[in-house]
Amino acid sequence: MKKILHFLKKTAPFTIPAILFIGIMSYSNAEPPKKESYSTFMEQVQKDKVESAYLDRGQGIVAYETKSGDKFVTTHPEYDDFKKELLENDVKVTSASSSGGILSSILPILQLALIIFVIYYFYMNMKMMKGNVGNAKAGEVIKKPKVKFSDVAGYAEVKEEVENVVSFLKEPKRYLERGARMPKGMILYGEPGTGKTLIAKAIAGEAGVPFYSASGSDFIEKFVGVGAQRIRTLFEEAKKNAPCIIFIDEIDAIGGQRGNETNSEATQTINALLTQMDGFAEDTGVLVIATTNRLEMLDKALIRPGRFDMQVKVPIPYTAEERLEIIKVHTKNKSFADDVDFMALAKQWIGFSGADIESIVNSAAILSVDSGKEKIDMECFTEAYDRKILKGHFKKDSQKDRDEDVLKLVAYHEAGHAVIGKLLETGMDVDRVTILASTTGAGGITFFSPKKMGLHTIEEMENNVKVSYAGRIAELLLFGNEKLVTTGASGDIEQATQTIRQMISTYGMTKEIGMLNLEILGVDKEVMVKHASELSARLYNETEELMKEHWDKVVRVAEALLEKETIMEDELDELMKDPETVEESIQAEVQKEEVADIVTTELLNTVESDVASTKKTVTAEDTEETF
């Protein structure tokens, strides 16, 4: 009974208006019948104007309808033959049962009870659902992860940075005696696929403590307050098993910068998280580790000192040696052909994360099986790399169906990229050029690999724009008519525009703008377009002049592409040499061979002469001894 009263009290603000609304609508929709005198009614019956009549003796009324459709109500007479008289005049008669009066009086009460029951039913169901969702555990619990730092390839500096946290979890008393406070929270941030989750597990594994894992999205539900309840439940359980680690992956799902929506689910959840962290005692022994790809998007209250005050960047593997370590981890228990050079792969895969490397190795293994090879060879890795870069694969079989004019256009376009890429210092090497079409729609592609990671000069940035423009310029010089250039340079233009925008608005690489960040200033687009157009025009013109000067190289590379379809870097280097230089090299080689032949002949003659002299001496000595 108490539950029902509590329910009625809770739902009264909703049920009472609903009932009133239903009642008003019912009353407004029902057209009440007109009252008529009994004598008029009987006169209509005798004139055969009444279609039907409803007799309710208990209520003392007769509700009837005329043949014209009008409805009336009149008084029920007190004599027994009334119904018989109506039937004799062809009136359709229906009568209420003896309990009809009671039923009609309690019908509104039954309707009200039904409405309340339906609302109560849905209310209890929603309450049970909310309770079940709120009590559901977020994520998983790993009592003692088996992952150690030795299982994390590379990242020596990151491991060193978090080593003191491991020591704190292992021996908290040693630090507490010195008055040191263990960090309450740590954020591992960096690009996707760099191994942030693996490092968090390794910290728990090295410390030998339980690992409570959850994702930021686990705390977001349609019921406001559920996420906050899950946070409290998670922390209560973690405190019981301290020392331990609470791991929240992709914390930006709940920890983004808060706006004006003070009652939103994400806001309540993050408030609960901050409250729990603020409530930690110095010897609680619970460390919260979170990961994010976008540190700048997190709420400032989250990363202030005393909360997630330890922030560790997990970068893309910087050196070839680090990438080689990761390659070795992912190539265990796999068979490889003798031509596979892991260091060469590590040098080529600059800018790739650990997840990227694992994906390529796995793709190469799949390709080796599909092609019927016994072992994974370098060709498998090359194709896997191409698929990663292209987000598709080459359509080798369809090459014969392509129009010759289209192939020529693509060959000159890619030759333009390759030649300018070789002539200018861009911070990248030209590994390969191909005119093979791909499933992504690209007619050809020039593969560049970065020589380094990190800082780039103004010269390199400008030269990269020139390389992007080179394909379109090669088309223009081939046709000699601006009207005949194609849409094939759309991706190049997008890339060049992005670089120019960064140079002007972010990097302060133009004299006209100076050392200003235009994005912070919020400069109008017209200003950006003006300076970008001027820089673009200058770089385009410089590229065009350079290509005209070296057009013969573009022609040689394009013709070689039409013949071979794909050119490797060493072949490209040979094609970049001038014919005179090549002829001089050939003559020099011939001269070297001629000199070598002369020297060899003289040496042979000398040896033969020495041998003959030796034979004569021996013969003379033998003759003397005989005599």
Q: How far apart are the first and last CA of the chain?
A: 149
CB 138 within 8 A of CB 219: yes
Q: How far apart are CA 478 and CA 406, in angstroms?
A: 12
Sign of CA dihedral 5, 10, 13, 14: negative
Q: Tell me how far apart the alpha carbons of residues 539 and 533 are, in angstroms, rounded to a whole number.
A: 10
Write out the catalytic residue numbers.
Answer: 414
Burial call 321-338: b when 16+ CB within 10 Å, e when fewer: ebbbbbbeebbeeeebee
In angstroms, the CA 365 to CA 377 distance is: 9
Dist. CA 405–CA 125, nearest whole Å: 69
Place of tokens 């403590």: 209
Give Cα 79 distance to the centre of its chain.
87
Helix, strand, or coil (residue 305): coil
**HSE-up (13 A, CA, CB side) for residue 348:** 21
Contacting residues for 384 by C-beta, under 8 A, at least 6 apart:
360, 361, 363, 364, 367
Q: CB-based contacts of 232: which residues, under 8 Å, 6+ apart?
A: 272, 276
Structure tokens at 87: 């039937």
Q: By C-alpha distance, which of 131, 38, 117, 151 is closest to 85? A: 38
Write down the residue that tokens 């031509």 correspond to: 339
Strands, E assignment, 9-137: 34-35, 50-56, 61-66, 71-75, 92-95
Distance (Å, rounded) from C-alpha 75 to C-alpha 71?
A: 14
Q: Tell how far CA 375 is from the center of its chain.
A: 33
Kindly state the DSSP code that residue 76 receives in the 8-state scheme: P
Segment holding 574, helix H or strand E: helix 569-576
| 249 contacts 230 by C-beta, under 8 angstroms | no
C-alpha span between 490 and 556 (Å, rounded): 25
Query: Measured between alpha carbons, how far is 45 from 84 in angstroms, rounded to an integer?
Result: 12
If you ran DSSP here, which 8-state letter would residue 307 be given? Answer: S
